[in-house]
Amino acid sequence: MSNVHVHLHVSDLEASRAFYQRFLGSEPVKVKPGYLKFLPELAPINLALSAGEAGAGKTIDHLGFQVESRQGLLAILERVKASGLTVREEMDTNCCYANQDKFWVRDPDGVEWEVYHLNHDVEEDAAAGASTCCTPLAKVTLDRGFRRP
């Protein structure tokens, strides 16, 4: 099944955990330091919560789609590239306690969209290191090949 992905920064992770458990009617499927992930039966959504402010008063870190297979991801990537949109690819990357193949695009208002396939879970969160995982594209250096529209 494919899921819509929403990643929020929250000021109080435990208060948000309690709220979303009650609202979604399910426990988080992944609990790590500063990070929670919900996959509720209520809807096809992958909701990730990270502790801390997103900056500039925003709570939405990014939006996205989780797809079922690497082949499906690559088909979408090729279609998006063929349409002329600029993408930032991150294949076989560790992010948010998971190894993923993914790519990013940014809409005209700066909303970042991630399309990804989950390869497998990992114990360490690369976001805490030097990775650009889940990092707003504005912070990604242009030498990585991504050009802002």
Euclidean distance between CA atoms 102 and 88, whole angstroms: 9
Summarize pLDDT for 62-77 with one digit per residue, the tens: 888 899 999 999 999 9
Q: Which two tokens stand for residue 29?
A: 């499927």
- 3-144: CATH class: alpha beta
Summarize pLDDT for 17-47 with one digit per residue, the tens: 998 999 888 999 999 999 999 999 878 999 9
Euclidean distance between CA atoms 3 and 25, whole angstroms: 17
Euclidean distance between CA atoms 64 and 47, whole angstroms: 10
Beta-strand runs (E) in 39-97: 45-51, 60-66, 88-95
Its pTM stands at: 0.68
pLDDT band at 146 (very low <50, low <70, confident <90, very high): very low
